[in-house]
């Protein structure tokens, strides 16, 4: 069964949201680590009604924020009410993907793998009990008596697509026959390939990008502490775009067999310069003797590089986003109408226009904002433009 938190996050991942990032919904809709059920929906409905009652009493950016919060949460709630998650079992799902790990990492790719059994927990053991990582490749806080060895999964984040890809990700840290972190920790590469190999294996097995895109959104907007600063997906995508699936495989083998044979810092610099190269060494097998699955994964590489290269979000304040949305759908909007819609002063409405002017080609004529002549907006509805509460004057408190 999904936890309450996992169910709501999953619904937010499955529905387009205007507000960025999705992690902010955890603040405005507090849920428990208990099982998701009808009571969850009742409490979400009551909280949503609370915000509906508060919105008419607000003004300015706070009013716009509440309007978007209500719109997005309502869509997520509608999704939850239309889907049954009673058959989803976290541990069964993870164990099924341990079989995929063995099939690919051992049998198909010949990378070796050390079994580290799954441990699904509501909280990590002390001193890591307050950490919010979705999964950890070993006992959080280090091996010690009283805590079973294994890969730890935080139940509040285990949901369809995340459980499968997290299993693939964490098990890359157990490649080979040695202990995890063999030869040290090369953060951009170790975490970057953990994601990228997980993507390639999932795509090769399922021939679908949908769940991979959801998982990437989860990393970017819900659990961002490790993978987005800097963006490891983009680093590895750039590297693999230059060296291909075969080059990536050779780098992984060198990471496992002789970590000092690669200058990892120089590889990062070469990647940034578009000059990354991975030539076969005399003691390495030729390309046609590598596992066939390596070559088959090139199609997945091409797809994943395209997905990862898609532009980052362009963020606006809530009122500016809603103005952008109106102009895109209905045409020019009067500055007076912006003032009326969100009970703004003329100065606050002018800030909305200036914010638009900073990010796009807008025109202001006779008190109306529109796209400049002969320009077209192709970003509306693509998810590129989002509203960020941090750009508002002040984010409202979640409680009364």
pLDDT of residue 79: 98
pTM: 0.93
Task: Collect all residues with Cβ–Cβ distance below 8 Å to 134 and sequence separation of at least 6.
Answer: 153, 154, 157, 158, 162, 166, 218, 223
Residue 227: per-residue pLDDT: 60
Which two three-digit tokens encode residue 338? 């912006």
Rounded CA-CA distance 81/39 in Å is 12
Q: Mind listing the pLDDT tens digit for each residue in 328-382?
A: 888 899 999 999 999 999 999 988 988 888 877 678 888 888 877 656 677 777 8
Give residue limits of the domains in the chain. Answer: 4-81, 90-296, 314-391
* DSSP bridge pairs for 136: 152
Computed on alpha carbons and rounded to an integer, the radius of gyration of the chain in Å comes to: 24
Cβ neighbour number for residue 358 with a 10 Å cutoff: 10
CA distances for 347 relative to 350, 357, 358, angstroms: 5, 15, 17
Cα atoms found within 13 Å of the Cα of residue 343, Cβ hemisphere only = 9
Please say whether the beta carbons of 150 and 114 come within 8 A.
no
Indicate the DSSP class of residue 219: H
For residue 397, pLDDT over 80 is answered with no
pLDDT at residue 179, rounded to an integer: 42
Cβ neighbours around 96 below 10 Å, total: 13
Three-class SS of residue 260?
Answer: helix
The string of pLDDT tens digits covering residues 205-229 is: 999 999 999 999 999 999 866 666 6
Name the average pLDDT for the chain: 92
Q: Into which CATH architecture does domain 314-391 fall?
A: Orthogonal Bundle (1.10)
DSSP code per residue over 70-127? HHHHHHHHHHHHT---TT--HHHHHHHHHHHHIIIIIIIT---B----EEEESSPPTT
Q: Which two tokens stand for residue 360?
A: 């796009």
Q: How far is CA 360 from CA 68, 316, 324, 369, in A?
A: 21, 11, 10, 12
pLDDT-based confidence at residue 23 (cuts at 50, 70, 90): very high
Query: pLDDT tens across 253-289, in order?
Result: 999 999 999 999 999 999 999 999 999 999 999 999 9
Q: How confident is the model at residue 178 (pLDDT cuts 50, 70, 90)?
A: very low
What is the band of 2 on the pLDDT scale with cuts at 50, 70, 90?
very high
pLDDT value for 70:
98
């Amino acid at each position: 069964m999904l936890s309450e938190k996992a169910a709501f996050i999953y619904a937010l991942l499955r529905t387009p949201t205007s507000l960025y990032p999705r992690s902010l919904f955890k603040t405005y809709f507090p849920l428990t680590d208990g099982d998701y059920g009808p009571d969850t929906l009742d409490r979400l409905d009551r909280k949503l009604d609370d915000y509906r009652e508060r919105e008419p009493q607000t003004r300015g950016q706070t009013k716009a924020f509440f309007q978007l919060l209500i719109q997005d949460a309502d869509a997520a709630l509608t999704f939850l009410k239309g889907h049954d998650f009673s058959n989803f079992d976290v541990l069964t799902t993870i164990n099924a993907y341990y079989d995929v790990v063995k099939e690919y990492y051992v049998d198909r790719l010949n990378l070796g793998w050390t079994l580290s059994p799954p441990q699904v927990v509501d909280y990590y053991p002390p001193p890591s009990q307050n950490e919010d990582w979705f999964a950890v490749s070993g006992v959080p806080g280090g091996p010690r008596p009283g805590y079973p060895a294994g890969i730890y999964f935080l139940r509040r984040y285990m949901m369809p697509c995340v459980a499968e890809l997290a299993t693939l990700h964490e098990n890359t840290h157990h490649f080979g026959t040695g202990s995890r972190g063999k030869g040290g920790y090369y953060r951009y590469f170790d975490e970057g390939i953990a994601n990228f190999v997980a993507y390639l294996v999932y795509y090769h097995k399922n021939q679908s990008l949908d769940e991979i895109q959801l998982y990437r959104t989860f990393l970017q907007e819900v659990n961002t502490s490790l993978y987005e600063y800097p963006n490891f997906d983009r680093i590895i995508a750039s590297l693999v775009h230059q060296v291909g699936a075969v080059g990536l495989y050779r780098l992984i083998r060198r990471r496992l067999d002789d970590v000092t044979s690669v200058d990892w810092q120089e590889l990062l610099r070469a990647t940034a310069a578009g000059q990354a190269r991975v030539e076969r060494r005399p003691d390495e097998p030729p390309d046609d003797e590598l596992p066939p699955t390596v070559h088959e994964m090139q199609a997945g590489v091409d797809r994943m590089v395209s997905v990862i290269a898609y532009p980052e979000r362009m963020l606006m304040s809530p009122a500016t986003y809603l103005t952008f949305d109106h102009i895109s759908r209905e045409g020019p909007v009067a500055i007076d109408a912006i003032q009326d819609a969100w009970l703004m002063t003329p100065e606050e409405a002018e800030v909305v226009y200036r914010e638009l002017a900073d990010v796009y080609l807008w025109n202001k004529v006779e008190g109306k904002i529109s796209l400049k002549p002969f320009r077209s907006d192709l970003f509306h509805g693509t998810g590129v433009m989002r509203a960020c509460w941090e750009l508002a004057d002040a984010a409202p408190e979640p409680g009364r």
